[in-house]
Structure 1
Amino acid sequence: MGQWFENISQDHAEWIKKQKVFFVATAPLDGRGCVNTSPKGHDCLRVLGPNQVCYLELSGSGIETQSHLEENGRITVMFAAFEGAPRIMRLIGTGRVVRVDSPEFNKLLQEHYQGSDLYDAQGKRSIILADVRKVGTSCGFAVPYYDYKGPRNTLIHYFNKKSDEEVQGYWAAKNKYSLDGLPGMRHEFLGPEWTGKNRGPGEAVVLPVWATSPSGLSKNSILAWIMSGTGLANATILSAGIAIGAGLATLSNKRRH
C-alpha cells in the first residue's frame, strides 16, 4: 500500500544509503517537451536533512536535468529495492543547480564528499540540491531481483583522461542546450553567451511572462510556442508556413484570372 510522508525519516535515510542506483525525473514547462529520466550510480547522493538531499553530478552527453531545473525547478528522485524487502520510494520537490567551482559547490563538496571516490574525479559538473516536500513509498512487488556486482567506472575513467580545457570543450560541444532548446550549462569561463545566474538558496523560481500566459490563443501563448522550440525548428516551421501561404495565394490569383 502506498504511503505519503512530509519528510525523510531516519528509516528512510538509512534505506536510501543502501541503494546502489536511483533515478531523477524532470520535465520542461511545455507539454510537448521531452520528459527526462536519468539513472544515477556511484556513491553520489547525500541526505542533508529531513527535507533536503543532494547529489554530485558528473559530466555526460545530456543536460536535461540542469535545463529543466533552471526553468521550473520540479524534480522527483526515485529509488527501488532490487534486493531484500520490496520497496519503491519517491522524493518529490523542487531542485536547483549548484554550479561547479562556486563557493556553495566547494562547501558541499568538502562537507559531504571528501574521502569518496568522486571527490577528486575529473568532470564534476554540478551538485543538484533538492528540497523535498513529499516522500512517497509503495510496495514494489513487481520490481525484479538483481545482484549488484560493483560500480561501473567507465565514465570516471573517461573524464580523468581529460584536462580542464578538454572538459570545458566537451561542455561547449554537448551541454549548451537541452533537447528542447532550453539553456544548458551556464559558466562564465566559457564566454559571455554562457554567463547566467543560477538560483541561490531560498530564491524562488521566476517564470518568464510567456510561460505564465492564460489558456487560449493570445499574444503570450503564441510567444510561448515560439520560445518552446529551438531557433532552427521555429525558422523551419515559419518558412514552411510562408511557402504554403504564398502557394495558396498564387493558386487563388490564377483561379480569378
Structure 2
Amino acid sequence: MGQWYESISPDFIEWIKKQKIFFVATAPLDGRGCVNTSPKGHDSIRVINSNQVCYLELSGSGIETQSHLEENGRITFMFMAFEGGPRIMRLIGTGRVVRLGCPEFNQLLEDHFQDSDLYDAQGKRAIILADIRKVGTSCGYAVPYYEYKGPRPTLVNFFSKKDDAAMDAYWKLKNKFSLDGLPGMRHEMMGPEWVGKNRGPGEPVMLPSSWMAAEGPMTASNITAWIKSGTGAANLTILSVGIAIGAGVNALINRRR
C-alpha cells in the first residue's frame, strides 16, 4: 500500500508530467488558523531535480499559500491518477515565494516555462519553489476515473483584460491579508509600502516576533484582520477587558474632577 521515498525518481517525474491537476496544502503556525488546500491546473508545475519542484502561480482572490509559506515554509503537494493505474502521490517539503519580476523569477520562468501555456499569460503572481524531503505513494483505489477535456480558460481570460495598474489594484483589494490576518501580497510593483523580503535560496524562515510587529503601526484594516484571526470567545474577552479598563479610567478622571 503506502510507501515513502527520499527523492522523486525518474519514473515518478514522468508520471507527474502526465497529471493535469495537483493540489497544494499549507497552514499557519497558529492552531486556530485555517488549513488551506488549493487545486492547480494548466501546464504549471515543473520538477527541477529529484528533490526540488516549482509551479507558476496565477493570481486569485485568496493569498493563503503565499502567506503561509512566508510565515513557516511548510507545503505538501498531492497528485492523483484519474486514468490508467491508480496512484496517489504526495511531495512533502518546504517552499518559498519567488515574486514576479525579481531576477530569480525571471530566470525560473525562462528556464522552465517557455513551453507552458502560462508563459505569456497576464496575472502571474509568483513562482512557488519547494525543496522536497519526503515522497509518499499510496494506492489511490478509491479515486474515480475522470476524462480530461482540456484546461479551463476562464481565469487566464479574466486577467488578460487587466493591465499592470489594474493588477496592482486587484492585489491590493484581494490579496492584502490571508484569512487569518497574515500578511499577504508583498510586491515592489505595488509601491514602497508593499515591498517585502524575497527569501533567497537556503535562507531559513524568519518568523516575526508577532504579526502586529511585522505589520507595523495599528490601522483600521490591521485591526479588522487581527480580529478575524482570533476566535469569537477570545475577541469577546479582549473587548470586555478593554471596555472595563476604559470605564475604570473614565471613573478615575471623573473622580479627580
Does the TM-score normalized on the shorter chain lie above 0.5?
yes
Opposite residue 172 of structure 1, the aligned amino acid is: K
Q: Quick check: 200-209 or 166-175, which moved more? A: 200-209
Opposite residue 225 of structure 2, the aligned amino acid is: T
Provide the residue aligned with 1:19 in structure 2: 19
Per the alignment, in what secondary structure is the counterpart of residue 134 of structure 2?
strand
Provide the residue aligned with 2:83 in structure 1: 83
Alpha-carbon distance in 2 for matches of 1:207, 1:179: 18
Alpha-carbon distance in 1 for matches of 2:38, 2:192: 29
Per the alignment, in what secondary structure is the counterpart of residue 98 of structure 2?
strand
1:48 aligns with 2:48: yes
Query: Structure 1, residues 198-232: CA drift from partner, whole Å, max 9, x if none?
Result: 21111011223459xxxxxxxxxxxxxxx9x9334
Where do residues 208-227 of structure 1 align in structure 2 (5 Å cutoff)?
208-209=208-209
Kept in 1, the 8 Å contact 2:177–2:225? The answer is no
Provide the residue aligned with 1:230 in structure 2: 225
Cα distance, 1:128 vs structure 2:
0.2
Gaps of 5+ in 1: 212-226, 248-257
Alpha-carbon distance in 2 for matches of 1:166, 1:209: 34
Query: Structure 1, residues 146-193: CA drift from partner, whole Å, max 9, x if none?
Result: 111111010000000111110111001000110001011111231233
| Aligned residues between the structures | 233
Provide the residue aligned with 1:138 in structure 2: 138
Gaps of 5+ in 2: 212-221, 248-257
Per the alignment, in what secondary structure is the counterpart of residue 28 of structure 1?
coil
Kept in 2, the 8 Å contact 1:70–1:198? The answer is no
- Aligned Cα root-mean-square deviation (Å): 2.3
Provide the residue aligned with 1:154 in structure 2: 154
Provide the residue aligned with 2:62 in structure 1: 62
Provide the residue aligned with 1:242 in structure 2: 242
Per the alignment, in what secondary structure is the counterpart of residue 230 of structure 1?
helix
Alpha-carbon distance in 2 for matches of 1:175, 1:159: 15
Per the alignment, in what secondary structure is the counterpart of residue 47 of structure 2?
strand
Percent sequence identity over aligned pairs:
71
Cα distance, 1:33 vs structure 2:
0.1
Alpha-carbon distance in 2 for matches of 1:143, 1:202: 37
Opposite residue 127 of structure 2, the aligned amino acid is: I
Provide the residue aligned with 1:192 in structure 2: 192
Per the alignment, in what secondary structure is the counterpart of residue 239 of structure 1?
helix
Provide the residue aligned with 1:181 in structure 2: 181
